[in-house]
Structure 1
Amino acid sequence: MFARRLFDFPSVGWQHQFADLERMSRQMDRLTQAVTGRPGMNWLSARVFPAVNLTEDKDKYYVRAELPGIKADALNIQIVGRNLTITGERTIPSEGENIRYHRKEREAGKFSRVIGMPGDIDADQVNAQMVNGMLTVAIAKSEASKPKQITVS
């Protein structure tokens, strides 16, 4: 009986509350577009570029980063301690002066990602390759961080 009362909302008032929230959201979107020139509140969302995956096997960690349109020689890749840093700049050609955007999600500018490795690494054994906009960095694990098989006698 208590659960029934707890979730027994009046249907008109409940729907009306969400209608008010939707109306306020539309007003905030219009205000944001007037101030920033971008539709909606996209400027508040965190954009992380490039998107990366970090995986491992027995001997290495692998960082794969999506970098479409960026040339390999425009990247700066460094290892410091247990961190891999990928830095570069993404440029997007101008689409003209008289263009009005309806949606703009592709951003240009400098970027930097620092990816922490979950274990110790051998910074002298790092290999990076760029194929079709996909950067793959293979980082050897240090001998101390590799699993050791222990036999029981």
Structure 2
Amino acid sequence: MASWSIFNELDNLRREIDEAFRGAGVARPLGATFLSPTSGRRFPLINLSEDEEHLYIEAMLPGVDPKELQLSLLRGSLTLSGERKAPAEKGLLHRSELGFGKFSRTVDLPADINADRTSAEYKDGVMRITMAKSEHAKPRKIEIRQG
């Protein structure tokens, strides 16, 4: 027998109302936007990969001025924050899906890194971050003795 929860029902109702507003081309009530921390989407979208020596992050940041971006490393997490400026108003706006405003994205890193050997490059709306793994985070070959 399935259990009934008022909280599950309220969450389902909220999702249905949000979907109705999206279908009508209206932003979420109370002004929540694409970049808002209350939004269900994560911005910026990222890829996180690694090899034996490095961790790599690619972050999609189209339309963001690189001067508005900040990176910080703290205890195994990388935080990328910044702001996408609102476009200049040009007549009546019928739809706004690109989003603007302040954003912050924190990513837990799967290995310890050497912060002094971290670099970032922004080109064509994509930020590429390369982080060297710390020596103790790199894989080591262990010799097996016979005998």
Instruction: Normalising by structure 2, report the TM-score.
Output: 0.71
Q: Count matched residues.
A: 122
- In structure 2, what is the Cα distance between the partners aligned to 1:47 and 1:61? 24
Larger-Rg structure: 1
The equivalent of 1:116 in structure 2 is: 108
The equivalent of 1:73 in structure 2 is: 67
From 83, 89, 92, give the equivalent of 2:86.
92
- In structure 2, what is the Cα distance between the partners aligned to 1:73 and 1:141? 27
Q: Any stretches of 5+ residues in structure 2 without a counterpart?
A: 1-15
**1:71 positional shift:** 2.4
> Is residue 29–residue 40 contact of structure 1 (8 Å, CA) maintained in 2?
no
CA change 1:40–1:78 in 2 (3 A) is: closer
CA change 1:149–1:132 in 2 (3 A) is: same
- In structure 2, what is the Cα distance between the partners aligned to 1:131 and 1:105? 23
Alignment of 1:1-153 (within 5 A): 29=20, 38=26, 46-96=40-90, 98-101=91-94, 103-153=95-145
> Is residue 90–residue 110 contact of structure 1 (8 Å, CA) maintained in 2?
yes
Q: Any stretches of 5+ residues in structure 1 without a counterpart?
A: 1-24
Q: Which amino acid aligns with 2:67?
A: D
SS at match of 1:47: coil
**1:144 positional shift:** 0.6
- In structure 2, what is the Cα distance between the partners aligned to 1:53 and 1:141? 17
**1:78 positional shift:** 0.8
SS at match of 1:152: coil
After TM superposition, the runs of 4+ consecutive aligned structure 1 residues lying more than 6 A away are: 40-44
SS at match of 2:67: helix
- In structure 1, what is the Cα distance between the partners aligned to 2:116 and 2:87? 37
Q: Which amino acid aligns with 1:99?
A: L
- In structure 1, what is the Cα distance between the partners aligned to 2:117 and 2:81? 20
Identity over the aligned pairs, expressed in percent?
35
CA deviation map 1:3-55 (0-9, x unaligned): xxxxxxxxxxxxxxxxxxxxxx69x826x96xxx8168896851211101110
Q: Whose helix fraction is larger, Structure 1's or Structure 2's?
A: 1
- In structure 2, what is the Cα distance between the partners aligned to 1:40 and 1:130? 31
